[in-house]
Amino acid sequence: MDVGYVLFSPNGRTGPRDFLRGLILLTGASIIVQLGSTYVSPAVALVQYVLVWSYACVYGKRLHDAGYSAWLCLAFFAGFMVVNWIVSGMLMPLLSPEAMKILTELEQVAASGGFSAMLQAMSERAPEIARKSAMTNLVAMLVSTAVLAFIGTRLRSDPNSNVHGPATGPGNLF
């Protein structure tokens, strides 16, 4: 596996095995960025823009291998956001009860002072909310990534050459 090709080139095809390897590397980098932006400096979050490109390349090449357009990776991104939102909502009361208390307080501020008062209070407490919900966000990201990785590996590889390149090998993971 050529890491530079898998992570940074939008052209070509990637089989299930290299897709998972690239996704594991990106997930590790995402964990580091998420923890760094929470505990070190919010500026670390700027690295996520490079990761978005790499995720698009990895998913795009996997879609190419299945004979689809890489533009369908936008559906994977939307799916990630939906799954992440659902998992976060389910796990927030369990893993981050302190953050839930803050969010409840913000709802009360919104009810009494309006939306702009809530936005002001939220911006003041954003670092605290980020720290207290870090575990929930991390677990939700891992679950969402696992769900989409499963879907990505289940795409059947085109056994023949297609417009995106030669066949990558057997169509199964193992």
Q: Do 79 and 19 sit in the same domain of this protein?
A: yes
Q: Do 112 and 56 sit in the same domain of this protein?
A: no
pLDDT tens for each residue of 52-82:
999 999 999 999 999 999 999 999 999 999 9
- Written as one letter, the residue type at 28 is G
Closest to 91 measured CA to CA, from 151, 128, 138, 148: 138
Q: How far is CA 152 from CA 63, 66, 75, 90, 115, in A?
A: 8, 10, 12, 24, 40
Instruction: Report the SS3 class of residue 21.
Output: helix
Q: Is the pLDDT of residue 171 over 70?
A: no
Domain assignment present for 172? no
Domain assignment present for 116? yes
d(CA 6, CA 24): 12
Indicate the number of domains in the chain.
Answer: 2
Q: Do 23 and 84 sit in the same domain of this protein?
A: yes
Domain assignment present for 46? yes
Domain assignment present for 3? yes
Q: Is the pLDDT of residue 172 over 70?
A: no
Torsion of CA 152, 67, 14, 27, to 10 degrees: -30
Which residue range forms the structural domain that includes residue 41?
A: 1-92+142-166
Q: What is the pLDDT of residue 42?
A: 87
In this prediction, residue 174 has a pLDDT band, given cuts at 50, 70 and 90, of very low
106 Cβ contact list (under 8 Å, min separation 6): 118, 121, 122, 125
